[in-house]
């Protein structure tokens, strides 16, 4: 996917599109990446907040898993739509709108006194935070050189996963010190400040300028709606007809779902059950998974530039991830010391982080020009449908292994349920044999899809 601007210095990015300097682009990207930080923070915070309120309110594992999955129901459904909206209207406006909705969701979760209210807040947070990653990726593709895409994607994932790290042990300490309400009030205020920061830059969005160059009149609403429908249809047809993308999706979706089950829901409870740790200690060891993801994001950003290198990197990192899952499960089974288990969790996170950066860049490598956001969103839709299945499914299965204290579960229950997850990760590796080099030429049929959709439009 070619870029629309190459920002080299504090000079206009491209004549005829207004003045978008390097410093302005860096500021906008920093705000977008901060929004993605929030997306990961709220996504993973369930592993700390839900077990706490589950014990307080006497919620079953099925209910806890369902409430956690509400984020992903909304997030998944909005992925292709938000990707297409970012392509069409520009990520600055779309992400700013999402951050404003995040303010409402944070306040709901902070002041909730029932599972229903907390669930509504978590669902709204999934809607609000859906555009963040595709927004950052679309912006960096449009505002920076194509050669910088992998490195910038790596930075985006590193900062995003910092949200995952902070949403475990640091969040647990903050809630213990200040209470859930005060913590979520602070989160709402920061969300509002990010939204304001983005809205001050709404006239400098290169995607918006590309859609409306110069001072041309904006298209009517019906044209915008039709364009959105076409973008979604093109993205779906591209995915449906590409064996390459479907094979990539299998390993990516299972990897993401397994990581969200572990890091985003059960890691703290699993460590507590297996090693008889208190909540703070278990949260600290679980945090290493997120630290590992950040390390992997950084490492993944330095490999895979080129069709053959990309395929090789994906195969290596996905295989390493599956081996780490198996090793972690075995380590807990034989009750190795917690510091060994924690180290394995760190390596598991690193392998996941590196593979996810490479999968993201692979989509950008072969996406039709100007359609990267919609195609990435369509892929992410199926990624998070898989997350929903895994989170809800593990919650349902753990319900059959209750411990004596309400809201906790037995060590054998975790071994059975997470052993199934590890098995799914290993089986997904079969899709790696189908992958071809990630070159734009492999998606020539993508051009045919676009042409076909346009022809349908004019009939």
Mean pLDDT across 248-269: 92
CB atoms within 10 A of CB 214: 8
**Angstrom distance (rounded) from CA 303 to CA 93:** 32
Among 447, 380, 367, CA closest to 2: 367
Residue at 272 is within a domain: yes
Mean pLDDT across 100-116: 94
- For 291-328, b/e burial (b = at least 16 CB within 10 A) is bbbbbbbbbbbebbeebeebbbbbbbbbbbbbbbbbbb
CB atoms within 10 A of CB 433: 8
Mean pLDDT across 85-89: 87
The whole domain housing 434 covers 22-211+221-458
Query: pLDDT digit string (tens) for 353-401?
Result: 999 999 998 988 887 766 778 888 899 899 989 988 998 899 889 888 8
Mean pLDDT across 2-24: 49
Residue at 10 is within a domain: no
- What pLDDT sits at residue 333? 94
Residue at 321 is within a domain: yes
Q: Is the pLDDT of residue 170 over 80?
A: yes
Residue at 2 is within a domain: no
- What pLDDT sits at residue 16? 35
- What pLDDT sits at residue 458? 38
**Angstrom distance (rounded) from CA 437 to CA 144:** 24
CA-to-CA dists, residue 371 to 93, 213, 233, 249, 316, angstroms: 18, 18, 11, 17, 28
Among 8, 115, 82, 28, CA closest to 372: 82
In degrees rounded to 5, what are phi and psi of residue 12?
-55, 140
Tell me which of 89-93, 226-230, 320-324, 430-434 is least confident: 226-230
CATH number of the domain that 64 lies in?
1.20.1250.20
Structure-model confidence comparison of residues 5 and 364, the more confident one: 364
Residue at 3 is within a domain: no
DSSP 228-296: HHHHHHHHHHHHHH-HHHHHHHHHHHHHHHHHHHIIIIIHHHHHHHHH---HHHHHHHHHHHHHHHHHH
- What pLDDT sits at residue 211? 53
Q: Is the pLDDT of residue 223 over 70?
A: no
Query: pLDDT digit string (tens) for 192-206?
Result: 999 999 999 988 888
pLDDT band at 453 (very low <50, low <70, confident <90, very high): very low
Provide the token pair at 130.
Answer: 């859906």
CB atoms within 10 A of CB 63: 18
Q: What's the domain count of the chain?
A: 1
SS3 400: coil
Tell me which of 56-65, 83-92, 176-185 is least confident: 56-65
Query: pLDDT digit string (tens) for 295-322?
Result: 999 999 887 677 778 899 999 999 999 9
Q: Any residues with CB less than 8 A from the CB of 28 and at least 6 apart, and which?
A: 92, 139, 143, 198, 201, 204, 205
- What pLDDT sits at residue 295? 94
| Residue 386 near residue 254, CB atoms below 8 Å | yes
């Amino acid at each position: 996917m070619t870029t629309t601007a190459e920002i080299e210095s504090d000079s206009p990015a491209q004549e005829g599109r207004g003045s978008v300097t390097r410093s302005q682009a860096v500021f906008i990207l920093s705000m977008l990446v901060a929004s993605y930080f929030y997306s990961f923070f709220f996504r993973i915070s369930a592993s700390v907040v839900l077990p706490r309120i589950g014990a307080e309110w006497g919620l079953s594992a099925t209910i806890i898993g369902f409430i956690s999955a509400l984020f992903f129901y909304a997030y998944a459904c909005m992925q292709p739509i938000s990707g297409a909206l970012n392509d069409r209207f520009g990520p600055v406006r779309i992400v700013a709108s999402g951050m404003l909705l995040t303010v409402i969701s944070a306040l709901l979760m902070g002041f909730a006194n029932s599972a229903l209210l907390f669930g509504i807040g978590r669902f709204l947070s999934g809607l609000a935070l859906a555009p963040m990653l595709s927004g950052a990726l679309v912006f960096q593709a449009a505002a920076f050189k194509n050669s910088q895409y992998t490195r910038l994607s790596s930075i985006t994932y590193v900062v995003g996963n910092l949200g995952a790290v902070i949403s475990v042990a640091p969040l647990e300490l903050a809630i213990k010190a200040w209470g859930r309400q005060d913590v979520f009030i602070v989160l709402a205020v920061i969300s509002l400040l990010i939204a304001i920061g983005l809205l001050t830059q709404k006239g400098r969005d290169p995607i918006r300028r590309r859609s409306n160059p110069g001072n041309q009149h904006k298209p009517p609403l019906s044209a915008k709606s039709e364009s959105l429908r076409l973008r979604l249809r093109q993205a779906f047809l591209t995915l449906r007809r590409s064996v390459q993308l479907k094979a990539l999706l299998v390993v990516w979706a299972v990897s993401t779902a397994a990581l969200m089950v572990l890091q985003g829901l059960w890691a703290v409870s699993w460590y507590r059950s297996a090693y008889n740790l208190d909540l703070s200690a278990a949260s600290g060891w679980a945090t290493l998974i997120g630290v590992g993801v950040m390390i992997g994001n950084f490492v993944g950003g330095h490999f895979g530039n080129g069709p053959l290198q990309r395929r090789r990197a994906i195969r290596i990192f996905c295989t390493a991830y599956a081996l780490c899952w198996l090793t972690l499960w075995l380590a807990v089974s034989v009750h190795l010391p917690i510091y060994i288990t924690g180290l394995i969790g760190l390596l598991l996170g690193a392998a996941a982080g590196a593979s996810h950066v490479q999968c993201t860049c692979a989509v950008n490598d072969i996406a039709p020009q100007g359609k990267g956001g919609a195609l990435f969103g369509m892929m992410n839709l199926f990624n998070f449908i898989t997350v929903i299945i895994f989170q809800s499914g593990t919650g349902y299965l753990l319900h059959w292994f209750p411990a004596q204290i309400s809201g906790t579960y037995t060590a054998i229950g975790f071994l059975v349920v997470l052993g199934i997850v590890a098995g799914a990760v290993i089986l997904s590796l079969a899709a790696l044999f189908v992958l071809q080099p990630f070159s734009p030429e492999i998606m020539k049929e993508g051009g045919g899809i676009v042409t076909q959709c346009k022809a349908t439009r004019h009939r």
